[in-house]
Structure 1
């Protein structure tokens, strides 16, 4: 039984571009039709992609359920991920506090610096030889 790309997409729950990309990359072999479409052998299609069942209560890939059922494994994984998120948020808050402390210290140091004033050394405007000889 041969299927078109759109029929194959419906049978597997994938999009038509996903099916055509799989054909072009060589994951699925298919025949090109004169109209530019593809004819895919069903066995070849289901070798790569699982079939979607039409019954929402059936086991396997189903378009009826978008989220997996909650079970102990998913709950444990979710709590582990939440712990990691909390730890990262704490580390981020600490880094921001440290950054703010460094910024405040830099501002205090910048305010404490003496303002640049014109030099009171009168020798700077004279040629080097007059300064060296202390002439004039």
Structure 2
């Protein structure tokens, strides 16, 4: 059976300050419960202080444990509510993701359509541009050399 610091000091017949000092000095080892609070095993108290009165503390512990089990029901209910909320949030997120993917697809289709329209309206510049032939380049080079640019 594990006791909190207050219960351990009461069972050992010492003050809480003395118990804290013994813990700091390493005379007695402690552990942590599920909530991170310090707990001390009764066997550890008996090892250090020999006689331990657990009669008064065991009733307190049993009472606290029954109160804790009632709290667990509330925690389980709250956990269930939070899980349902999380499920709703995930389904909403998935729905919104699908909507956004559809919008992106539509925008891409529009972009491709308008790109095709714009390309179709542009004249083919390659057909009307003068071809640079070897003769044209040679004539240009000859005129530069003669000084008639």
How would you bin the TM-score normalised by the shorter chain? Answer: 0.3 to 0.5
**TM-score scaled to structure 1, two decimals?**
0.40
**TM-score normalised by structure 2 residue count:** 0.37
Greater share of residues in helix? 2
